[in-house]
A and B are shown apart, each in its own frame.
Chain A
């Protein structure tokens, strides 16, 4: 097959020609995969072919080796590994050959493909000669071959994990890369490629960074590269420093002074891309030290794996003035531009992180700057002064901040209404929000908001909601935190007198013509949600009045006909906000009997609206509508059965949504809500639901985080339907047993342990629901054969010693449920288990009340089971 012409046609502007070509390529691939890949690699390597076909050939090759979706990627890896060895050798030879091509598009594509092949083969101990042959290229004189090889090494380090390559080869790679970076390298392209390669190779350099001489050498070369005359090299070198700051934090002490000098100079004098990286270095150090100090705080023992070197504290007197200077370099319009990122924004963000790292120490360094600039005629100075103050509100102690805030509050409220500049108002509203977020509410002893100023605060914020969208959005945010601070205020909230006015103003905001800008509409609905959540019984009648209002809004979104895809997306987003708001209202009103009773008059209409929201889409369900339905089912109880015939298909659709796994997870949760609401009335829908849930469990396309909730959901269903669960028992138990086996043989990373525990919890909740569901049924006998496995599972969990409190509670509860339901049939079995002795005793003396309760229950149930 003449592949060149097909590849040309595949890029034709004529749609028919293009489709035709794509079809031929597809056929070729299906009929003869090795031949197909071979001719693509041949095309890529052939210097006589046009550059555009060579590039496309390389891209198709790359896509034949890797995909974004996990399961697809896995398939492609398997396919490559099972390909004929001879063909693979030829393909790889073509790829390596292309690296010496003078055509940049060709070698650059080849280097990416080589890295993909390496990503598959090196972990299998295949292609052992790759690194050797790449390294021999570096010593060629030809600059482009050097460049392409260094780039390949960079990609390779990005693709494969460090444990796949032995230290000897790592040393050689690093030597080649660092040599390429050094000042003696005359070709700037080669030096840039080397610097970027080092960025990816840093993760391989663990051993080298532990060796003083090697580390000194690498650090010296990186620091030198930050002084290169070429801006791209300075930027790439600075990026390396950022990466080193998090990967090798504990090795930085000898270099930190030099790095400070380099970064300070870059922040003050260099071009923005370099300056931004320089600021990022310090932000990244803050991230590290915040983590370490948080770990210190966690258990007062002071032994973290990595000690804190207090770099930020030491650099503080020089670092803070440098960051304050950046605040004055704002860009006009940055607050309206979603994608904006500049030195003032980076500097301000870093200042906030510094405040969180050092706490009180930052206050005296920032306050004079704020005081000096806040009344200046130049808006930049006033904005910078306000931003600096807003940045330090998280970190320092309330005792230190409250006196300052008490003085600043009046000024801020006045600036928010009177300052002529929109930037200043934006930052002022944001700062007020930070004040309310961190210094208002039950955590603070002396309240900053009193009867005297509450009215003024509300008035100013509502007034600002009429300002430009970005300012109004920040005002909504401030109101959000104002409401949040009164969450646990008791039966009477200081916001009660303003409740109606606040709700009205927020609704007005959602109707603004320009509410689509600066996230304004979203912010207004989110604030409305928080105001409702934190409302008290006093305002429950007003929340009830809100129900028909939001329903009408939702109704209006359903009226539009024939929408463009852009309009459809906006409609869906608005529906999401409204469903979210209804969900919050339902949950609020449903939590107390009198309001729930009144609310229920709307249930039919609301459900009708939700069903129409679902009907707006073809293949997916609306996550927010699903969440709202869960809340509605809980409030409605058994009566929810009347909605099931219509709702069921969307429930199924939600469970089938593997791509948006959040939607699937939310739907699984709603199945639980519905089971509890309907009890045995869910039976007619169980076949469909259980089949889908079992399918989901066995799928490797579904995100693993959804699996534990599916097990819990088994328990919910079993508890609801009782002995009717018998028909699913065998399938459910098989799935549970294999998951249980999986979850006992894990050790290692924290993240894995966390997942294992959530899996165990799901399994245990399933067992609990099944046992309790079968209790008092004549069919309890059929559970007896499962008892030995379950007891072994419990014993196993106890022995592994890595369970969390939740698992401890559910485990011991399952022991009780098993004894309660199976009684004397399993008495001897229970007595043999470790769980019924050491585990139970440990739980009985636990300080966690929930664990203790479950244990007391288990003790009683066991006592009865073994005494009879």
Chain B
């Protein structure tokens, strides 16, 4: 029983670099394992490139697929929203357009800066182009524009997006992606995800839906260089579910530096000298926006209605005259409107209140990027410093055409 050694480390760091190397390796391995797992769970398919067209498979096979599909549909009504989509995919012409036109989640325009912008909102640069749904099912992929009309038919690498050799595509398997079609490189940029491989994401928060997209970006959405032409910034509230129609939980904002289309142009692509708005005519001659509930902008003169043969439900174009828009307590009090004529037939909706207001502000006292940044750095948000905004910046993933 000799005396015990009581030497302690002297002028030595607590852990050695070798220990650190081991720990960092373990950390990397755990992270790699997690990524592999996520990929397996289809949570990380960031770039969905299209397959080259597959030779036509035998007609019997596709028949079988169709039968299976219809059977499952009848059996189950649980995931009604998704099944609606697949049922709707069989709709044709105006019916289909009408249905799809009501399925996209539409952003409001940012007319003031929301609270907790840096904590609760994702932002990414909106690619310039046509907003559309990309739906893959039964071995084909269809894109539909905002008004419901079909943009393209093509095979894609999305689950059930192309005919496969073994015909194994399950009937449950289909995807609905919310995209923007970017003409320049013929690419679909995915901005949101509604269904993936049969999993409905309608009732999931934006935070979770974007996690499926898994497309974190380092550089700033505003100044950064994107692989596409930018058209403003989209802000998504983290907690928002995918909700069809207009929502204040998704906001769009633009200025000249990040969009070529800040001020609305007319059909010739020129900026009119006066702001133009499209409003819906109601039974009682009232002119309203497409908001829910609608916002009243004024009443149309009975003479004009009669003269132009207008009736309720018509979408009408107006110019905002010198009287402009007046507000009392933040509410619209009076609009100086000048009737121009019926709106383009392709229009499905009237303008929203936030759009009219944003356009009005752009012409008079725009909301600037500095206002956004100031809000992020305001004392309210001080707990999260400004570097946090970068954490929330997202770039859309892509579906590339062949």
Could you tell me which A residues sit within 8 Å of B by CB distance?
Answer: 151, 154-155, 158, 196-197, 199-200, 235-236, 239, 242, 273, 276-277, 280, 283, 341, 345-346, 348-349, 426-427, 430, 437, 474, 477, 480, 490, 525-526, 529-530, 580, 583-584, 587, 624, 627, 630-631, 634, 662, 666, 669, 672-673, 676, 712, 715-716, 719, 765, 768-769, 772-773, 775-776, 813, 816-817, 820, 853, 856-857, 860-861, 863-864, 867-868
State in angstroms the CA–CA spacing of A236 and B201 once bound together. Answer: 71
Interface positions of B from 1 to 44, Cβ below 8 Å from A = 1, 3-4, 6-11, 13, 16-18, 21-22, 24-26, 28-29, 32-33, 36-37, 40-41, 43
For residue B341, give the distance in angstroms from its CB to the closest CB of chain A: 49
**A-B residue pairs in contact (CB < 8 Å), sample of 27:** A154-B1, A155-B1, A196-B1, A239-B4, A242-B6, A276-B6, A277-B6, A341-B10, A349-B8, A526-B17, A529-B17, A580-B21, A587-B24, A587-B28, A634-B28, A672-B32, A672-B33, A676-B36, A712-B33, A716-B33, A772-B41, A817-B41, A856-B208, A860-B201, A863-B78, A863-B200, A864-B172
Cα of A113 to Cα of B33 in the assembled complex, Å = 51
Quick one: CB contact mask for B376-402 with A, threshold 8 Å, 1 for yes?
000000000001000000000000000
Who on chain B is nearest to A197 by CB? Answer: B1
B198 in the interface (beta carbon within 8 A): yes
Q: Contacts of A151 on B, CB cut-off 8 Å?
A: 1
Contact A768 B11 (CB under 8 A): no
Question: Among residues 61 to 90 in chain B, which have CB atoms less than 8 Å away from a CB atom of chain A?
Answer: 72, 75-76, 78-79
Task: Establish whether residues B33 and A867, one from each chain, have CB atoms under 8 Å apart when the complex forms.
Answer: no
Contact B17 A530 (CB under 8 A): yes
Q: Is the CB–CB distance between B3 and A669 below 8 Å?
A: no
Are B18 and A864 interface neighbours, CB within 8 A?
no
Given the interface pairs A627-B21, A673-B29, A769-B37, the reply to whether A868 lies near B76 with Cβ below 8 Å is yes
Confirm or deny: B204 has a beta carbon within 8 angstroms of a beta carbon on chain A: yes
Give every chain A residue within 8 A of B33 (Cβ-Cβ): 672, 676, 712, 715-716, 765
Report the minimal beta-carbon distance from B27 to chain A, rounded to whole angstroms.
10
Residues in A neighbouring B25, C-beta threshold 8 A? 583, 587, 627, 630-631, 666, 669
Q: What's the Cα separation between A672 and B43 when bound, in Å?
A: 21
Contact between chains at A868 and B172 (CB < 8 Å): yes
Q: Would A580 and B17 count as touching, CB distance under 8 A?
A: yes
Which residues on A sit within 8 Å (CB–CB) of B199?
A: 860-861, 864
Q: Which residues of chain B have C-beta atoms less than 8 A from A669's C-beta?
A: 25-26, 29
- Which A residue sits closest to B197, measured CB to CB? A864
Residues of chain A with a CB closer than 8 A to B17's CB: 480, 525-526, 529-530, 580
Shortest CB-to-CB span from A613 to chain B, Å, is 16
Q: How many residues of B contact A (CB 8 A)?
A: 42
**What 20 new A-B contacts, CB under 8 Å, besides A480-B13, A583-B21, A860-B204?**
A151-B1, A200-B1, A239-B3, A341-B7, A341-B10, A529-B17, A530-B17, A583-B25, A630-B29, A631-B25, A666-B25, A672-B29, A673-B32, A676-B36, A772-B40, A775-B40, A856-B204, A856-B208, A864-B172, A864-B198
Please give, as numbers and ranges, the residues of chain B lying within 8 Å of A772 by CB-CB distance.
37, 40-41
**Shortest CB distance B256–A (Å):** 27
Q: In the assembled complex, which residues on chain B have CB atoms less than 8 Å from the CB atom of A820?
A: 41
Residue on A with the closest CB to B26? A669
Return the chain B residue nearest A350 by Cβ.
Answer: B8
Please tell me which one of the listed residues B21, B29, B200 contacts residue A860 in the complex, with CB atoms under 8 A apart.
B200
Q: Which residues of B contact A676 (CB under 8 A)?
A: 32-33, 36
- Whether A477 lies near B208 (C-beta < 8 A) is no
**Whole-angstrom CA separation of A196 from B4 in the bound complex:** 11
The docked-state distance in angstroms from the alpha carbon of A529 to that of B21 is 9
Q: Which of A199, A283, A672, A775 contacts B1 (CB under 8 A)?
A: A199
State in angstroms the CA–CA spacing of A716 and B43 once bound together. Answer: 17
Residues of chain B contacted by A480 (CB below 8 angstroms): 13, 17
**Chain B residues with CB below 8 A from A624, complex form:** 18, 21
Residue of B nearest to A284 (CB): B6
By a CB distance below 8 angstroms, the chain A residues around B79 are 863-864, 867
* Interchain nearest-CB distance for B340 vs A (Å): 49
Least distance between A852 CB and chain B CB atoms (Å)? 8
Is A868 a contact partner of B208 (Cβ separation < 8 A)? no
How distant is B339 from chain A, measured CB to nearest CB, in Å?
Answer: 50
Contacts of B200 in A (CB 8 A): 860, 863
- Inter-chain contact B37/A768, CB cutoff 8 Å: yes
A200 to B6, CA, bound (A): 16
- With a CB–CB cut-off of 8 A, which chain A residues contact B72? 868
Please tell me if the beta carbons of B8 and A283 are within 8 angstroms of each other in the complex: yes
